[in-house]
Amino acid sequence: MKSAPPETESGPRKPDFTGEWKLNRQASMLSPVVAAAQSGVLRIEHHEPSFKCQLTVVFEDKPVETKYELLTDGREVAGTHGERRIVSCLGWDGDALVATWRIQGPDGEMTISFRYELLDDGRRLRAAEELRGGGRDQDNLWVFDRQGQTGE
């Protein structure tokens, strides 16, 4: 008889995105704005509800780094960066984690969202990006392959 999946106080256990992930350029579908991406590494430390993410993508031999840390509780966190007001949120949608940033600045408003999902028994991570506003509307499907051990 097969046992039920482990549960937490709030229900079935959610996926753990922890790991180092290498950009699979061939499997990704990128808009012209980021199509010049040569390589990339995504590092995630996920200890529910804490989620730390660091993405480094290389364009024309120059690395571009983005990082953030949020809780997966779905609450909005507001802050400022220079003249910009940024409202961030990270929450669960089934087994997917959805991160959203609303950025208000002197040039108008922009929204960026990433939907993170694990595929192929946790060997692959798909990050569906949607960017709207600021004259830079784009949709990107970033696909990353797990590096090293699968780690449970």
Q: Residues 131-147: pLDDT tens digits? A: 999 888 999 999 999 99
**Start-to-end C-alpha separation, the chain:** 22
Tokens of 70: 């949020």
Overall CATH class of domain 15-147? mainly beta
Check the CA dihedral 40-41-47-50 and report its sign. Answer: negative
Asked if the peptide bond before residue 49 counts as cis, ω within 30 degrees of 0, the response is yes
Tokens of 136: 């830079």
pLDDT for 135 equals 86
Residues of the chain with pLDDT under 50: 1-8, 150-152
pLDDT for 46 equals 98
pLDDT for 5 equals 40
Helices (H), the chain: none
- Report the 10 Å Cβ neighbour count for 114: 21
Q: How many residues does the chain have?
A: 152
**What is the rounded distance in angstroms from the CA atom of residue 68 to the CA atom of residue 77?**
12
Q: Judge if pTM exceeds 0.85.
A: yes
Per domain, the residue ranges of the chain are 15-147
pLDDT for 152 equals 42
Partners of 58 in the β-ladder: 39, 63
